């Protein structure tokens, strides 16, 4: 049996804030792979550029969320 490994594209987001006088930090990794099953709305496999654009949108949305 052969194992197929697809290229991973990762973007890391770091959110920092101060709570009760202490600095806090939360890190999250956003990841997708370039593979024939990762398709866009038209059914065409996504390019690495499309994946990076989507990951940046996800990261920016996560960073803009208000920390409780």
pLDDT tens by residue, 2-58: 899 999 999 999 999 999 999 999 999 999 999 999 999 999 999 999 999 999 999
Residue 66: per-residue pLDDT = 74
- CB neighbour list of residue 62: distance below 8 Å, 6 or more residues apart: 13, 15, 28, 30
In a domain, 50, yes or no: yes
Domain that holds residue 39: 7-64
In a domain, 24, yes or no: yes
How many Å apart are CA 51 and CA 62, to the nearest integer? 16
Question: Phi/psi of residue 15, each to 5°?
Answer: -115, 125
In a domain, 1, yes or no: no
68 pLDDT above the threshold of 70: no
Number of C-alpha atoms within 13 angstroms, CB side, residue 31? 7
Residue 52: per-residue pLDDT = 97
């Amino acid at each position: 049996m052969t194992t197929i490994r697809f290229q991973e594209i990762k973007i890391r987001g770091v959110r920092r804030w101060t709570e009760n006088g202490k600095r806090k930090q939360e890190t999250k990794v956003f990841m997708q792979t370039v593979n024939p099953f990762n398709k866009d709305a038209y059914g065409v496999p996504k390019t690495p550029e499309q994946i990076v654009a989507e990951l940046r949108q996800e990261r920016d949305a996560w960073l803009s969320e208000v920390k409780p």
